[in-house]
Amino acid sequence: MSDRYCVFGHPVGHSRSPRIHALFAEQCGQAMTYEAIEAPREDFAGAWHAFVAAGGCGANVTVPFKEEGYRVADVLSQRARRAGAVNTLIHGRDGRTYADTTDGVGLVRDLEAHGVTLDGARILVLGAGGAVRGVLDPLLAAGPQSLHIANRTAEKAVSLAADFHPQERGQHQTRVTGSGYDALEGPFDVVINGTSASLGGELPPLPETLLAADGVAYDMMYAADPTVFLQWASARGARTIDGLGMLVEQAAESFFLWRHVRPDTAPVRDTLRREL
């Protein structure tokens, strides 16, 4: 009998998670199924508990339910507590719901897989929403020299930076700062676009001096063609990477949490790239 997993979202029909986890399961010889479930916006908790009652073992959680996933958890990982949201739920043998977030780990692993050095780097993250909050802890754990958050609403960026100030973290003494776009001063070694602007073909107002001479531009979004942000960065000499690998890497971490087996992500990433 196969163990049952799913991804919850609303909408969720576009999700590539079922395809990714089917490839992982085949590669690792795991007896499991994985489906997409569109939960009602007003009752995510009910959808999760119904799934568990029907034999569900674990789930991924995507928009708009990442904070609701946080609230249904009985046990939160440290990185989930820091993020204030989760993307992975586990139905434990003790009947409790365990929750984690793997987005930040996925981002860092994808950057490392592309040979990007984060230790000692000057990092800029664009945006101050939930997607950005969820990746800051793993980025800071990689030991950058500095991390700056820029957002259209400067107050949100400054507040988020204060939440991750190293004096509170007791980890790397990375300088964490925030500002509006109008106060940006480069250059940065790594610029990560965590805004949703790419979905609408828009570009945040960025200065020409943003990127270092050998800088890397990373968009957490992905598409068959380069996003507007990546086109802008490429025209200014940056090396560009989209978020497809992050999607696969965060899924691999969820798969590991469920199955205690770590899949090889490279062939899965290559398969998805061909299918775009």
Residue tagged active-site, from 66, 79, 122, 133? 66
Same domain, 225 and 109: yes
Is residue 250 marked as binding?
Answer: yes
CATH number at residue 201: 3.40.50.720
Are 96 and 116 members of one domain?
no
pLDDT tens for each residue of 206-245: 999 999 999 999 999 999 999 999 999 999 999 999 999 9
Distance CA 268, CA 217 (A): 23
Consult the annotation and say whether 154 binds a ligand: yes
Q: 114 and 41, same structural domain?
A: no
List the structure tokens of 181: 């776009």
Do 135 and 174 belong together in one domain? yes
**Amino acid identity, residue 227?**
T
Q: Are residues 144 and 223 part of one domain?
A: yes
- Give residue 165's pLDDT band: very low, low, confident or very high (50, 70, 90): confident
- Does 211 lie in the same domain as 193? yes
Contact 119, 185 (CB under 8 A): no
Confidence band for 166, pLDDT divided at 50, 70 and 90: low
60 is in an annotated binding site: no
Tokens 């200065």 map to which residue? 207
Is the pTM above the cut of 0.85?
yes
If asked whether residues 13 and 92 sit together in one domain, one would say yes
Is 109 assigned a ligand-binding role in the annotation?
Answer: no
Instruction: Say yes or no: 116 and 238 in one domain.
Output: yes
**DSSP tag of 183:** G
Parent domain of 223: 104-242
Quick one: what percent of the chain has pLDDT higher than 70?
97
The pLDDT score that the predictor gives to residue 168 is: 43
**Nearest-angstrom CA–CA distance, 266 and 276:** 16
- Both 18 and 68 in one domain: the answer is yes
Say yes or no: 145 and 205 in one domain.
yes
Same domain? For 47 and 68 the reply is: yes
Active site residue 9: no
Residues 83 and 176 occupy one common structural domain: no
**Number of compact structural domains in the chain:** 2
Sheet-wide strand order for 3-9: 32-38, 3-9, 56-61, 88-91, 97-100, 75-76
For residue 222, say whether it is annotated as part of any ligand binding site: yes
